[in-house]
Amino acid sequence: MKKAAAAIAWLALAGCDSRQSEEDGIRIVPVRIDGAGGSHGFRAELAQTEAEQARGLMFRTNLVADSAMLFAPYPPDGGEPRETSFWMKNTPTSLDILFIRADGTIARIAENTVPFSEAPLPSGEPVSAVLELRGGRASELGIGEGDRVSWSTTGS
Residue 127 to residue 39: CA distance in whole angstroms = 22
pTM of the model as a whole: 0.80
Length of the chain: 156
Domains of the chain: 2-151 (2.60.120.1140)
The tens digit of pLDDT for each residue in 88-120 reads: 999 999 999 999 999 999 999 999 999 999 999
Contacts of 123 (CB under 8 A, 6+ apart): 83, 84, 85, 99, 107, 108, 130
The tens digit of pLDDT for each residue in 3-62 reads: 333 333 333 333 333 334 444 567 899 999 999 999 999 999 888 877 677 777 766 777
Residue 109 to residue 54: CA distance in whole angstroms = 19
Task: Count Cβ atoms below 10 Å from residue 106 Cβ, excluding itself.
Answer: 22
